[in-house]
Amino acid sequence: MKQRTLAIIKPDGVSRNLVGAVLSRMEAEELRVVAMKMIKMTKEQAKGFYRVHEGKPFFESVTDFMSSGPCVVLVLEGDDAIRRYRTLMGATDYTKAEEGTIRREFATDIEKNVVHGSDSEETARFEIGYFFNALEVMA
């Protein structure tokens, strides 16, 4: 089943020059880029994006982090893309992530974990619409 998911290369990934390496891993897994741009979120925009985490102990810190520098936001398309891209990312805590995953390979911290991926179809719809308008996502 063809699906779309929202991916972010987080500020740590961009500042550490990992954009190309992460994109290569996505494309190698047959996830196709159908939208992509670089943005720098304000604190308010980061809070809106991670609003499901409002009230959690890491909310202030993660929204500071996500607004600390440019991110690359992308829409990836592929068969079962949401689940397959989550698998490619690895666990939130990189020390628990499977060998060969993006986070295991590149993350340095539970917060600074290089990439984001939508966790459900409903989340993907919200997150794609949060960053992209219809003209920016390929038909």
Binding mask 71-100 for ligand ATP (x = CB under 6 A): ---------------------x--------
Contacts 24+ apart (CB under 8 A), 121-124: 121/3, 121/82, 123/6, 123/52, 124/3, 124/4, 124/5, 124/6, 124/82
Q: How many residues bind ligand ATP (CB under 6 A)?
A: 10
Contacts of 38 (CB under 8 A, 6+ apart): 14, 70, 71, 72, 73
Quickly count helices (H) and strands (E) in the chain.
7, 4
Told to check if 130 binds ligand ATP by CB under 6 A, we report no
Among residues 113 and 132, whose Cβ is nearest to ligand ATP?
Answer: 113
With CB under 6 A as the contact rule, the residue among 62, 71, 97, 124 that binds ligand ATP is 62
Residue 135, Cβ neighbours under 10 Å: how many? 7
Query: Is 116 one of the catalytic residues?
Result: yes
Instruction: Find the shortest distance in angstroms from Cβ 139 to ligand ATP.
Output: 26
Among residues 37 and 96, whose Cβ is nearest to ligand ATP?
Answer: 96
Site residues (CB under 6 A) for ligand ATP?
53, 58, 62, 92, 110-111, 113, 116-117, 119
